Amino acid sequence: MKGPAAIEGFIGSLLGKVPDFKFRNVRFLIDTPDQVFAEYSVEALVPATGRIYRQMYAGRLVAKDGKIQLLRESLDTVAAAKAFAPVEAA
């Protein structure tokens, strides 16, 4: 994903699917003027599935001249798939 419009679209879509999405328990491990690395978590209901999305992220952000140059996140994709997968009919 590249550019402000793409990022805005992704975040808008995510918030549409998980209105209570909010980073919590942010722990900064590196915090310099041009780089930050942190761990943070989310626990929020996914209304479409009725499941709770529980996730621990690790993220690195690099900035230059006040603009994001790199944002890289690691997360448990299996946990995400389980929370967002369509509910099977019984």
pLDDT single digits (tens) 67-76: 899 999 999 9
Question: Which burial class, exposed, middle or buried, applies to 37 when counting CB atoms under 10 A from its CB (0-12, 13-18, 19+)?
Answer: middle
What is the model's pLDDT at position 21? 92
Tell me if 89 is assigned to some domain: no
What is the model's pLDDT at position 10? 83
Tell me if 63 is assigned to some domain: yes
Residue 90 has pLDDT above 70, yes or no: no
Query: What CATH code is carried by the domain that includes residue 44?
Result: 3.10.450.50
Tell me if 40 is assigned to some domain: yes
Quote the tokens at residue 50: 């009725």
Tell me if 79 is assigned to some domain: yes
What is the model's pLDDT at position 33? 94
Query: Where do the H-state alpha helices sit in 18-84?
Result: 77-84
Tell me if 18 is assigned to some domain: yes
pLDDT single digits (tens) 77-88: 999 999 999 877
The pLDDT confidence band at residue 5, using thresholds 50, 70 and 90, is: confident
- Domain range for residue 61? 4-84
